[in-house]
């Protein structure tokens, strides 16, 4: 009996984390732009779903402002931004208003009011070792087919890197469009990696190509 109780507590404390390649879990939520059915909202575009620990906190304010300042960039990349924290809709609205008044920057993207922690739990954003009540800084990149393609998790006290978020998005879109892979530190405009040959004939063909080649299995080309 004692053993069963302990086991149950352990099971309840386990968090679910969606994985790369999974369909993004669907949910209904209230946001700063109105009610949202997530699967409908994200249909046909890339989506970056990101959580922050709390409204009216300094690191979060810098991050949300960073996303807002790059809104046009994400629009041009056919990418929707969706923020989230475990705060009420009233708190979100007051914070949006506060930042607008202080800096002139308006958070136009929806921010989920996840006061019941439903979405945070669904996406493994609530990590009890870090906080029982605040979402960690998670970033989910979701493709137009609704599949999770890249995940980042940061702790409460370390802000994310907007350059890396933008680089990751462009890398995913480039890899899909050209069916290539991207090497270490790849940036837009750099050479890309072509898939290794699958036959001896393809290998010989590759040797005669103008690819930049370390060996037959590691070859790069311009886009």
Query: 102-105: long-range contacts (C-beta < 8 A, 24 or more apart)?
Result: 103/65, 105/65, 105/68, 105/69
> Applying CB under 6 A, does 65 fall inside the site for ligand BEZ?
no
- Residue identified by tokens 């929806």 is 110
Nearer to ligand BEZ by C-beta: 48 or 134? 134
- Tell me the three state secondary structure of residue 63: helix
- What residues are labeled active site? 60
157 is a contact residue toward ligand BEZ (CB under 6 A): yes
Q: Name which of residues 44 to 63 contact ligand BEZ (CB under 6 A).
A: 53-54, 57-60
Query: Between residues 117 and 156, which has the closer beta carbon with respect to ligand BEZ?
Result: 156
Do the annotations mark residue 137 as ligand-binding? yes
Rounded CA separation 54/61 (Å): 9
Provide the token pair at 188.
């837009």
Query: Site map for ligand BEZ, 109-138, x if CB under 6 A?
Result: -------------------------x----
Nearest approach, Cβ of residue 159 and ligand BEZ (Å): 8
Give the total of residues touching ligand BEZ (CB under 6 A): 9
Q: Sheet with 34-37: list strands edge to edge.
A: 34-37, 28-31, 111-113, 79-85, 46-51, 137-142, 148-154
The answer to whether 170 and 188 are in contact (CB under 8 A) is yes
Asked if residue 153 binds ligand BEZ (CB under 6 A), the reply is: no
Query: Which residues are part of a known binding site?
Result: 137
Query: Which residues are part of a known binding site for substrate?
Result: 137
Residues lying near ligand BEZ in the complex (CB under 6 A) are found at: 53-54, 57-60, 134, 156-157
């Amino acid at each position: 009996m004692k053993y069963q109780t302990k086991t149950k507590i352990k099971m309840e404390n386990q968090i679910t984390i969606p994985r790369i390649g999974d369909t993004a879990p669907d949910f209904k939520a209230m946001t700063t732009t109105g009610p949202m059915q997530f699967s409908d909202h994200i249909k046909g575009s890339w989506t970056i779903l990101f959580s922050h620990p709390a409204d009216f906190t300094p690191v979060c304010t810098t991050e949300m402002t960073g996303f807002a300042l790059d809104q046009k960039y994400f629009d041009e990349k056919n990418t929707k931004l969706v923020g989230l924290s475990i705060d009420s809709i009233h708190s979100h609205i007051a914070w949006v208003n506060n930042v607008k008044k202080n800096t002139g920057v308006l958070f136009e993207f929806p921010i989920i009011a996840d006061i019941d922690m439903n979405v945070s739990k669904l996406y493994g954003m609530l990590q009890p070792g870090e906080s029982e009540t605040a979402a960690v800084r998670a970033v989910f990149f979701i493709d137009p087919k609704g599949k999770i393609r890249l995940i980042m998790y940061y702790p409460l006290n370390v802000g994310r890197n907007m350059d890396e978020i933008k680089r990751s998005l462009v890398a995913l879109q480039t890899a899909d469009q050209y069916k290539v892979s991207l090497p270490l530190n790849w940036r837009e405009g750099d050479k890309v990696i072509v898939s290794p040959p699958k036959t001896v004939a393809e290998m010989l063909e590759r040797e005669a190509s103008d690819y930049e080649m370390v060996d037959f299995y590691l070859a790069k080309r311009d886009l």
